[in-house]
């Protein structure tokens, strides 16, 4: 049996940092016997209404097919009810393999006025690389465990920033593209994964033992709009505000040379 816990973004940062004191002593060790944790995150029940937002700036770049609105990408459910962009991680591990977060999760692009990927993972004190593929002026505004406000006036020029502190970082555009949003998690150890389009995840090279495994989702409801400011045109705009993130927790036992299967079920209830 597992429990669903709804927590605010600020508390989520504390949740990730909760083990930070312990996780700051995370040790890379030589592993002779390891196991794997694999599974899925699936949606149960009716799907909520998609969260869409009007595209009201730079439509020639942001909306070349004239859809007029953009899905905010807060809940992506595949044909078999797999939930993409869920972060699955071990909460109580202090030693294991070296950091091996895949490079695509550590590189942010701005393409057709959306952030790619939508969920990023960057090691503590590690670099995040950012660029814009769009021929319009973007900004990447970060708040949370890292605070930057980075303009991108030129295409395909990569900049790098260090992510100093474990926790959650919210990414937004202050350049008038209010629908642009993404989440970045600065991680203290390598046992993190993001579910794919079918809701699948895998954690490899896990030392044998009993762990607490967590599934985290950023939250999918558009709760309201708030007043914001386009720093480029100096005009007032409306920005979407989302519901709080949610977490689900389970216990898992990892045995040498075996795969422990853990499945999570998400829903509105």
pLDDT tens-digit series, residues 160-186: 999 999 999 999 999 999 999 999 999
Residue 34 to residues 54, 145, 189, 191, 260: CA-CA distances in angstroms? 49, 32, 16, 13, 11
Q: Which pLDDT value is given to residue 230?
A: 84
Provide the pLDDT confidence category of residue 82 given band limits of 50, 70 and 90: very high
Q: State the residue range of the domain holding 242.
A: 3-266
Distance separating alpha carbons of residues 42 and 79, to the nearest angstrom: 11
Provide the pLDDT confidence category of residue 227 given band limits of 50, 70 and 90: confident
CB-CB contact of 183 with 168 (8 Å): yes
CB-CB contact of 257 with 21 (8 Å): no
Q: What is the CATH number of the domain that holds 173?
A: 2.60.40.420
Provide the pLDDT confidence category of residue 5 given band limits of 50, 70 and 90: very low
Contacts of 18 (CB under 8 A, 6+ apart): none
CB-CB contact of 150 with 159 (8 Å): yes
Distance separating alpha carbons of residues 139 and 227, to the nearest angstrom: 18
Number of structural domains, the chain?
1
> What is the tens place of the pLDDT at every residue in 107-125?
999 999 999 999 999 999 9
Q: What percent of the chain has pLDDT over 90?
A: 83
Question: Does pLDDT of 32 surpass 70?
Answer: yes
Q: Which pLDDT value is given to residue 213?
A: 98
Contacts of 20 (CB under 8 A, 6+ apart): 165, 166, 167, 188
Checking DSSP bridges between strand 192-194 and strand 52-54, what pairing results, if any? unpaired
Question: Does pLDDT of 7 surpass 50?
Answer: no
Distance separating alpha carbons of residues 246 and 234, to the nearest angstrom: 35
């Amino acid at each position: 049996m597992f429990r669903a816990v709804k927590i605010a973004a600020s508390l989520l940062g504390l949740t990730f940092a909760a083990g930070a004191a312990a996780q700051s002593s995370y040790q890379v060790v030589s592993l002779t016997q390891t196991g794997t944790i694999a599974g899925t995150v699936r949606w149960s029940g009716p799907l909520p209404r998609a969260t869409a937002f009007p595209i009201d700036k730079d439509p020639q770049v942001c909306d070349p097919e004239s859809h007029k609105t953009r899905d905010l990408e807060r809940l992506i459910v595949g044909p078999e009810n797999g939930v993409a962009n869920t972060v699955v991680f071990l909460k109580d591990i202090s030693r294991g393999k070296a950091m091996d977060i895949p490079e695509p999760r550590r590189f942010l692009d701005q393409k057709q006025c959306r952030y790619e990927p939508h969920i990023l993972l960057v090691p503590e004190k590690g670099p995040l690389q950012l660029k814009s593929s769009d021929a319009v002026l973007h900004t990447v505004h970060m708040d949370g465990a890292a605070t930057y406000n980075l303009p991108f006036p030129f295409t395909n020029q990569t900049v790098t920033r260090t992510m100093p502190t474990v926790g959650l970082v919210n990414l937004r555009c202050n350049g008038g593209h209010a629908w642009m949003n993404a989440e970045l998690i600065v991680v203290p150890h390598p046992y993190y994964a993001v579910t794919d389009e079918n809701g699948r995840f895998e954690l490899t090279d896990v030392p044998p033992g009993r762990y607490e495994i967590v599934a985290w989702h950023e939250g999918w409801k558009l709760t309201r709009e708030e007043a914001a400011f386009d720093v480029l045109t100096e005009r007032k705009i409306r920005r979407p505000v989302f519901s709080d993130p949610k977490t689900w927790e389970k216990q898992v036992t990892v045995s040498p040379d075996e795969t422990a299967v853990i499945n999570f079920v998400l829903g509105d209830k």
